[in-house]
């Protein structure tokens, strides 16, 4: 059972590949304005996207800015070893190699002064980013120290308007008790304001990326987040589903199940849908039935 009764309705959000400029069309499509809007910026960007943040605010949403310490490869051209970028190993961050960029972002967001959720170095428990566990010699302890290092820089800049979102990927099934727990990466509730978690229903016929009901997908991860012992709000910071092609594997049904399940989790504040055709057609409108299910689910949140 979730530890808290729901006080506020579950909130919905979205990632739009072209950014907030597509927000009005998305709102028209689903019949309700998103309350959270997810953005991504890698470290090729010397300064934060203040124009995009303003556009999100103008639409009445809270910006969730994913700040990725790497040079993200171009879409559909990512080499197999894209996660191996030695300048972005956690040891290099701790050595001060990126202090200028970190302090520049901290000062710029402090001067901007409005509410922003900064999702720094997400999915750290995976091996697909340069800051991930086991990549380039990274350890969970280094991740914690790097998080605190960056957070301290923002504190020194007076960026009190920044809320910090710590967002692991759903934990992999553990046959080995030596595998790191989410708690091993947690920098402490004095350094985090929002707990995030990412998880997708990939819809492959075989595990580990097989069709997964929402409770199967998120239940173990939510249990681990709760075991941290904080009272921090939880947001599903990325999710989506493939279209199913077997009996009982309906994307429309999965969407309905997702919202029903998360509504029952009183400590889950919101859920952000990844509205892009990428590895799968993750979009809400990948089929008329999926779109109808999403519209219905969102309408019943209020």
DSSP letter string over 86-112? GGGSHHHHHTTTTHHHHHHHHHHHHHH
- For residue 81, what pLDDT band results from cuts at 50, 70 and 90? confident
**Residue ranges of domains in the chain:** 11-299
Q: How many CB atoms lie within 10 A of CB 199?
A: 22
Q: Where are the alpha helices (DSSP H) in the chain?
A: 23-30, 50-58, 90-94, 99-112, 140-156, 214-226, 251-263, 288-299
Query: In angstroms, rounded to a whole number, what is the distance separating the alpha carbons of residues 88 and 267?
Result: 34
Report whether pLDDT(1) > 60. no
* Mean per-residue pLDDT of the chain: 93
Asked if 109 contacts 154 with a C-beta cutoff of 8 angstroms, the reply is: yes
Angle of helix 251-263 relative to helix 288-299, nearest 10 degrees, comes to 20
pLDDT, tens digit (0-9, with 9 covering 90-100), for 112-169: 999 999 999 999 999 999 999 989 999 999 999 999 999 999 999 999 999 999 999 9
The interaxial angle of helices 214-226 and 251-263, nearest 10 deg, is 30
* pTM of the full structure: 0.95
With b meaning 16 or more CB within 10 Å and e meaning fewer, what string describes 62-73? Answer: bbbbbbbbbeee
In words, the CATH class of domain 11-299 is alpha beta
Contact by Cβ (8 Å): 183, 228? yes
- In three-state secondary structure terms, 65 is strand
């Amino acid at each position: 059972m979730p530890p808290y009764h729901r006080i506020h309705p579950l909130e919905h959000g979205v990632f739009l590949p072209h950014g907030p400029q597509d927000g009005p069309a998305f709102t028209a499509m689903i019949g309700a304005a998103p309350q959270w809007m997810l953005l991504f910026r890698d470290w090729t960007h010397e300064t934060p996207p203040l124009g995009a943040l303003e556009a999100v605010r103008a639409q009445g949403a809270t910006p969730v800015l994913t700040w990725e310490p790497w040079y993200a490869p171009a879409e559909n051209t990512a080499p197999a070893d894209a996660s191996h970028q030695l300048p972005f190993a956690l040891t290099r961050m701790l050595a001060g190699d990126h202090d200028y960029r970190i302090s520049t972002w901290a000062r710029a967001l402090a001067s901007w002064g409005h509410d922003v959720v900064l999702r720094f170095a997400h999915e750290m428990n995976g091996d697909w980013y340069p800051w991930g566990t086991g990549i380039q010699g990274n350890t969970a302890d280094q991740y914690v120290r790097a998080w605190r290092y960056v957070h301290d820089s923002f504190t020194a800049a007076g960026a009190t308007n920044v809320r910090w979102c710590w967002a692991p990927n759903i934990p992999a099934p553990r046959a080995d008790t030596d595998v790191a727990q989410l708690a091993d990466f947690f920098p402490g509730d004095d350094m985090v304001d929002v707990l995030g978690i990412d998880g997708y229903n990939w819809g492959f016929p075989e595990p580990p990326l097989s069709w997964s009901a929402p409770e199967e997908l998120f239940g173990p991860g939510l249990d681990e987040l709760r075991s941290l012992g904080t009272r921090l709000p939880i947001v599903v910071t990325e999710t989506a589903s493939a279209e199913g092609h077997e009996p009982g594997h309906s994307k429309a049904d999965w969407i309905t199940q997702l919202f029903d399940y998360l509504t029952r989790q009183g400590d889950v504040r919101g859920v952000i849908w990844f509205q892009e055709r990428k590895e799968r057609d993750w979009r809400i409108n990948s089929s008329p039935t999926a779109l109808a299910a999403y519209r219905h689910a969102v309408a019943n949140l209020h």
